[in-house]
Structure 1
């Protein structure tokens, strides 16, 4: 399992291709992801390549690579002849994503309890410390990313690469959904859910780990206000230059 404290953008965008190997692409990717998860760039916001290039002083090729990475992660959509837009997950989309997570992640938690290593547990506990530090500092978007990565790390610990990749995609989509519909501060880490899950994994208790995962995902879902939101109009330059 990769180190739990690694850069969130690298984890989410790392599967999107070689573009994120460029520090410039990575910086733009991270800036846009942060703005999206902080709701400074609301759903359906159009992200023209030329405008972004002017804002960040980057070529269209660099900007396009960052946009493609974000689209791969499910936080943008790219429409032919229209360009890139911040994704607009509907209430139905949110329920579909969490239904899929319940089906997959409960089983993966049970598998992880049977094979997880001491090094994995240590990395997860460090990750929990990073999560709480972000919450205590009021860094909501970072807390959302770290909470999602916690689930990715558990999936990776099973050695099931295909399923872990699927979890990573679901978590990316969930991060945007949580950013959009989150209604309470503890929706991600309420009642020490992650600590309880790690404890069950460390003790090698598959049934308990699966039950903890299921309860945690249902609690996140319960912490979301799944009502449709009206579209907002923003000035792209003002939002991104002030970040």
Structure 2
């Protein structure tokens, strides 16, 4: 077995551990669904009580979330949901604008019928969530749609980067979003699916690029948000 394969197997085992950690999965989903605003303090005792786990499991989950840039850990101050600066927000979207159009192009060249069916089912789920005004869930599903395209492109390394950037985008949207009408809507994603199904690489690439530029343009960096809810209240929503 090569060292590269050993490293890949080790990374897979670590990822599996994260997925089995209820603090990691629960807090991640709450962040992606915008139930935990940026800056929210994540007290270990509260998390341990809410999820019914030990402080050791809580710390492991928080470490994993910090590795994903979703949580900030500070010595003697504990953990809190990351609070991206305007500069970081711009850099995240600029990185997405560089990576995702190319992934959309490759997806159009590699997608099969099963991939297209999966994308259409996912887009319908997202649309249903929006119709029910479940904006947080719709946002999480929208981000997952972008990750699915990168996975269909068969770009494992880039897909991992995009998944991380998409997660961080949810925090940025929670802080700086101003135009809900420009969120990933049904028509936008369906147009991308249509281009991928036609194997139209040029169209898929351009649609993804223009879509991300539009999302980026909807950010305002003089907007903040606060909440008076407790951590337990936010996790329970």
TM exceeding 0.5: yes
Does 1:74 pair with 2:69? Answer: yes
| Bigger shift: residues 49-58 or 87-96 | 49-58
- How large is the Cα RMSD of the aligned pairs? 2.4
Alignment of 1:130-209 (within 5 A): 130-190=125-185, 192-209=187-204
Given that 1:94 and 1:177 are in contact with CA atoms closer than 8 Å, whether structure 2 keeps it comes out as yes
* TM-score, normalization by structure 1: 0.82
Q: Secondary structure at the match of 1:43?
A: coil
Q: Which residue of 1 aligns with 2:17?
A: 19
Does 1:29 pair with 2:24? Answer: yes
Given that 1:152 and 1:164 are in contact with CA atoms closer than 8 Å, whether structure 2 keeps it comes out as yes
Q: Which residue of 2 aligns with 1:95?
A: 90
Q: Secondary structure at the match of 1:142?
A: helix
Q: Secondary structure at the match of 2:142?
A: helix
Deviations 1:8-52 (A, max 9, x none): xxxxxx896333343xx33x3344234434544332222121232
Given that 1:187 and 1:224 are in contact with CA atoms closer than 8 Å, whether structure 2 keeps it comes out as no
Given that 2:31 and 2:37 are in contact with CA atoms closer than 8 Å, whether structure 1 keeps it comes out as yes
Alignment of 1:208-223 (within 5 A): 208-223=203-218
Name the count of aligned residue pairs.
226
Deviations 1:67-103 (A, max 9, x none): 2332233211122343211100112111111111111
CA distance 1:118–1:37, shift in 2 (3 Å):
closer
* TM-score, normalization by structure 2: 0.84
Q: Secondary structure at the match of 2:215?
A: helix
Q: Give unpaired runs (5+ residues) of structure 2.
A: 1-11
Q: Which residue of 2 aligns with 1:42?
A: 37
Q: Which residue of 2 aligns with 1:109?
A: 104
